[in-house]
């Protein structure tokens, strides 16, 4: 497909609303069902599914529960608390399953799964619409706001024979985006003016980031559940109560997952944050709180926190993302606390698998993820004025011969030179002669090697036979010589026995589990 025929990236415009019970997050609008029911959602790289609130999640709750969870609803009053499957003529129910969104962080819940029509943006804006897409209505408030999955990995169910395609992958399969890639920054409510999130499917927006020095990219982790992983080499802060401080004793390998808002870090690192910024630990919620006096002093000092990312200790191969204190100045509300409570978004990780850079980090970072090339890059986010010209760049699939297939690079290549007929004929003759010489040399070397091997075996055989003969003659036994008809060994097939080291390693396959009568997804 030529560059001219490539589909344009989809710029998923934000809802221009700020939602969340654990911070103030810029959301995106989607609609589900026929007639459409609309919801505000947050993107996630941990799944390809689409999650929306279920009405059961607002039972025995305040009247604005649905609105807090991003529910627009339809004309009926009941729909204001969540998705109404019976109101959709295109809903095909599949059953209740575990969402397994981030089970290790206890960020999961049961969802009523089904297939339905899903569209991006509000219905009046005529965004892309796909039929028979995987949708889960989740009651558990741990998944408080709906989720728009950005993983292309198919959805697996224990009682379905075939993996189910997900929205992001279907967009590419139907040629609605140029590649399985996206770019995202979470926006910042603390900026003046406020800056909403930016999500581009199949490309990126140049005005939303400053390219990192060296155009550094990171390969995907082989684990499909945490592809966006990178090492943090350093975390430092300045102008804090104790001057310039290092908060990270040693590098850690961490998963970049904006499904969750928090930084999940080793206990000693959290202790360093608490000491430097005057935080107190709440054993009930496991959150780090900050009182009004300390908060006022931090606003006055305006400290910044620098994250140095890179898979080697070399500073030249490091990407530095700087966050102001305001990015950590979050508020938690119901159901965390009855009253709005200021907190600092760090969490104590129990093990290395929990280490996570959450959505807070993406307020000041711009992520470009390319699933077809298996790499991603991070850049310092920019917050351009609304009048600044916006340039949208496509990321083409690797199979497409396009000059816009990757983020901007400072390296250029000269155009190829044409060859005339004489040059082509000379090159072809040279290649033929070279191949003939290589074949001849290989045959000669093979014969020489076989002859040496045959002679070595014959010599060993003669020595052993001579020793046996001498022993036999000494004992008076009759001596018989046994020779191969060809004068050399005949190699047999090497076979592996069960349990031996000589075995093939089969690719891993998804496993299905059951827990408390609820089907588990993998």
pLDDT at residue 230 in the model: 98
- pTM of this structure: 0.77
Mean per-residue pLDDT for 22-41? Answer: 96
pLDDT at 478 over 70: no
Cα–Cα distance for residue pair 47/31, rounded to 1 Å: 18
Let me know if residue 495 belongs to a domain.
no
3-class secondary structure, 434: helix
Let me know if residue 78 belongs to a domain.
no
Q: Of 106-115, 175-184, 368-377, which gets the smallest average pLDDT?
A: 106-115
3-class secondary structure, 373: coil
Q: Classify the phi-psi angles of 297: left when phi > 0, otherwise alpha if psi is within -120 to 50, otherwise beta.
A: alpha
The total of structural domains in the chain comes to 1
Contact yes or no for 158/71 (Cβ under 8 A): no
Mean per-residue pLDDT for 447-468? Answer: 43
Strands 50-53 and 129-138: parallel
More confident residue, 410 or 183: 183
pLDDT at residue 240 in the model: 57
Let me know if residue 273 belongs to a domain.
yes
Let me know if residue 307 belongs to a domain.
yes
Element (H, E) at 451: helix 421-475
Nearest to 124 by CA among 210, 29, 214: 29
The CATH number of whichever domain residue 264 belongs to comes to 2.40.70.10
Let me know if residue 235 belongs to a domain.
yes
Let me know if residue 500 belongs to a domain.
no
3-class secondary structure, 400: coil
Tell me the CA end-to-end span of the chain in Å, nearest whole number: 35
pLDDT tens figures, 263-320: 999 999 999 999 999 999 999 999 999 999 999 999 999 999 999 999 999 988 999 9
pLDDT at 445 over 90: no
Let me know if residue 338 belongs to a domain.
yes
Nearest to 145 by CA among 82, 222, 216, 91: 82
pLDDT tens figures, 244-256: 899 999 999 999 9
pLDDT at residue 80 in the model: 77
pLDDT tens figures, 479-514: 333 333 333 333 333 333 333 332 222 233 333 323
Contact yes or no for 261/22 (Cβ under 8 A): yes
Let me know if residue 109 belongs to a domain.
no
For residues 198-221, b (16+ Cβ closer than 10 Å) or e, as one string? bbbbbbbbbebbebbeeebbbebe
Q: Virtual CA dihedral for 448, 451, 453, 454, nearest 10 degrees?
A: 170
Domain residues for the domain of 239 are: 210-381
Mean per-residue pLDDT for 385-395? Answer: 91
pLDDT at 135 over 60: yes
3-class secondary structure, 362: helix
């Amino acid at each position: 497909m030529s560059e001219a025929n490539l589909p344009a990236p989809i710029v998923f415009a934000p809802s221009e609303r700020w939602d969340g019970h654990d911070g103030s997050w810029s959301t995106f609008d989607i609609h589900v069902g026929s007639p459409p029911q609309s919801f505000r959602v947050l993107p996630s790289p941990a799944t390809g599914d689409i999650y929306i609130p279920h009405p059961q999640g607002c039972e025995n709750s305040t009247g604005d529960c649905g609105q807090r969870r991003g529910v627009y609803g339809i004309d009926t009053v009941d729909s204001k608390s969540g998705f109404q499957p019976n109101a959709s003529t295109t809903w095909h129910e599949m059953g209740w399953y575990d969402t397994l969104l981030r089970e290790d962080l206890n960020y999961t819940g049961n969802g009523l799964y089904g297939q339905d029509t899903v569209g991006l943006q509000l219905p009046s804006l005529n965004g892309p619409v796909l039929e028979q897409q995987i949708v889960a209505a989740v009651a558990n408030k741990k998944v408080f706001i709906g989720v728009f999955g950005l993983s292309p990995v198919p959805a697996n169910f224990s009682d379905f024979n075939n993996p189910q395609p997900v929205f992001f992958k279907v967009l590419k399969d139907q040629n609605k985006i140029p590649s399985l890639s996206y770019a995202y920054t979470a926006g910042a409510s603390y900026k003046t003016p406020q800056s909403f999130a930016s999500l581009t499917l199949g490309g990126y927006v140049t005005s939303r980031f400053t390219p990192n020095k060296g155009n550094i990219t990171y390969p995907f982790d082989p684990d499909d559940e945490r592809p966006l992983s990178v090492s943090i080499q350093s975390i430092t802060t300045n102008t804090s109560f104790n001057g310039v401080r290092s908060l990270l004793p040693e590098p850690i390998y961490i998963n970049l997952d904006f499904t969750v808002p928090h930084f999940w870090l080793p206990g000693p690192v959290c202790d360093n944050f608490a000491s430097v910024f005057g935080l107190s630990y709440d054993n009930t919620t496991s959150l780090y709180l900050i009182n009004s006096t300390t908060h006022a002093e931090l606003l006055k000092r305006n400290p910044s926190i620098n994250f140095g990312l890179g898979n080697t200790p070399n500073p030249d191969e490091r990407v530095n993302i700087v966050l102001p204190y305001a990015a950590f100045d979050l508020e938690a509300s119901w159901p965390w606390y009855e009253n709005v409570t200021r907190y600092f978004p760090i969490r104590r990780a129990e093990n290395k698998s929990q280490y996570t850079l959450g959505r807070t980090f993406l307020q000041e970072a711009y992520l470009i993820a390319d699933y077809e090339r298996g790499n991603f890059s991070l850049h310092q986010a920019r917050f351009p004025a609304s009048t600044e010209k916006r340039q949208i760049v496509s990321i083409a699939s690797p199979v497409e011969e396009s000059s816009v297939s990757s983020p901007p690079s400072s390296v250029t290549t000269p155009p190829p030179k044409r060859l005339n007929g004489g040059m082509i004929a000379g090159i072809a003759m040279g290649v033929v002669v070279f191949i003939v010489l290589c074949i001849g040399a290989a045959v000669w070397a093979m014969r020489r090697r076989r002859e040496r091997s045959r002679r070595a075996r014959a010599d060993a055989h003669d020595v052993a036979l001579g020793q046996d003969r001498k022993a036999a003659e000494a004992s008076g036994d009759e001596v018989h010589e046994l020779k191969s008809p060809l004068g050399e060994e005949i190699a047999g097939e090497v076979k592996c026995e069960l349990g031996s080291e000589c075995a093939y390693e089969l690719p891993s396959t998804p496993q299905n589990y059951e827990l408390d009568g609820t089907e588990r997804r993998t």
